[in-house]
Amino acid sequence: MHLFRIIFKNTFRHKLRASLTILGVTVVILAFGLLRTVVSAWYAGVEASSASRLVTRNSISLVFSLPISYKEKIRQIPGVKIVSYGNWFGGIYIDEKNFFANFAVEPKSYLELYPEYLLLPDQMAAFLRDRRAAIAGEKLAIKYGWELGDAITLKGTIFPGNWEFILRGIYRGRDKSTDETQFFFHWNYLNEMMKISAPRRADQTGFYLIGVDNPDLAEEVSVAVDHTFKNSLAETLTETEKAFQMSFVSMSEAIVVAIQLVSFVVIIIIMAVLANTMAMTARERIGEYAILKTLGFGARYLAALIFGESLFISLIGCTIGIACTFPIAKIFGAVMGTFFPVFHVATKTICLDIAASLLVGLVAAIIPTWRAIEIRIADGLRRMG
């Protein structure tokens, strides 16, 4: 207890220097936490993937479509439990800056494949009953002030024209990792309009979603699906939902790596700052350490004083930084909601914050401690003048 009291008093003997160092650690822990959360948000789609879902697309590119006639053939493959399908619509709401994910899907099978999208029974029935109906995630509805029954018009980019939908449901996410910023409507509505305006694009789907009986059969089913359509006009590429999501993340892998590097660089910078602070502190007190040695205090006691002060400063900054991370991450997530639909500070990020602050505190104290232990009593007393 006596040692802790001395460490506390030593820390704030130079209040301005200690406060600025703590502020520096706070800012770095805050930056580190936000950067790690951005990286986690990048992989949110991968983390939310189910091992029992497969994605089938055109083997050439996702841009090319697949015939809707493939559905029955896929359904007959052993191990397949359910088949759904859909298209990326790419519509714009009012202005191009209002970007959000919107899909035309076969609603009943799609919602059966994604039980994490929670929809009230009456809203589900209304959505399935009305071919022009659409559902939106809760975050998306709140952002644009949508209510049930509202008419929502999207301007098509891939499918030209103004497309009007009636909002029949607002889903909520079952899990924290569930994306609540998506918009879904009936694939049949899209297909019927294509039959009128562009018949050659009708009866085509962008992807198939396959639910398998057993996740262990995923690879076997994938091979069987692709083998079924081999040498056809539209060959398929089937992969797990996780692999499919990872293919998107890998396109921006350089950005993710850069963010990760920056998050570690800021830790190294604050490590140097805290080491400098501790070095100045130890140099100023070198005479006091010599007196302690004269009185019989050993190297362990001196090490405890210096390491204790360094860790104390680092952990105070860490605590304040973590406390600031949550509200700032919430604001950041609200502003960047459509780009990062799932933006939560993970427990792993907090553990990394604490581990980083402990590492900074320990490393910063090594050299000052070594100097305090190595200096001879006579040399230390001489520096006191």
> pTM for the whole thing?
0.76
Q: How far apart are CA 73 and CA 67, in angstroms?
A: 11
Contacts of 384 (CB under 8 A, 6+ apart): 287, 290
Q: Interhelix angle for 299-335 vs 286-294, to 10°?
A: 140
Question: Exposed, middle or buried: residue 357 (CB in 10 Å: 0-12, 13-18, 19+)?
Answer: buried
Whether 141 shows a pLDDT value over 90: the answer reads: yes
Q: b or e along 236-247 (b: 16 or more beta carbons within 10 Å of the residue's beta carbon)?
A: bbbbbbbebbbe
Whether 1 shows a pLDDT value over 60: the answer reads: no
pLDDT at residue number 208: 96
Whether 385 shows a pLDDT value over 70: the answer reads: no
Banded model confidence at residue 175, pLDDT cuts 50, 70, 90: confident
Give, for 146, the enclosing helix (H) or strand (E). none
Among the residue ranges 43-47, 278-282, 359-363, the one predicted with the least confidence is 43-47
SS3 83: strand
Among the residue ranges 153-157, 168-172, 173-177, the one predicted with the least confidence is 173-177
All structural domains of the chain with their residue ranges: 1-46+252-383, 60-234
Q: Give the tens place of pLDDT for each residue, 5-15.
A: 888 888 888 88
Q: Which two tokens stand for residue 180?
A: 């609540």
pLDDT (average), residues 81-93: 93
pLDDT at residue number 337: 67
Phi, psi of 76 (to 5 degrees): -85, -5
Phi, psi of 211 (to 5 degrees): -100, 130
Mean of the per-residue pLDDT values of the chain: 89
Cα Rg of the chain, angstroms: 30
Q: How far apart are CA 152 and CA 98, in angstroms?
A: 13
Q: Give the tens place of pLDDT for each residue, 272-328.
A: 888 888 888 888 888 888 888 888 888 899 999 999 999 999 999 999 999 999 999
pLDDT (average), residues 23-47: 87
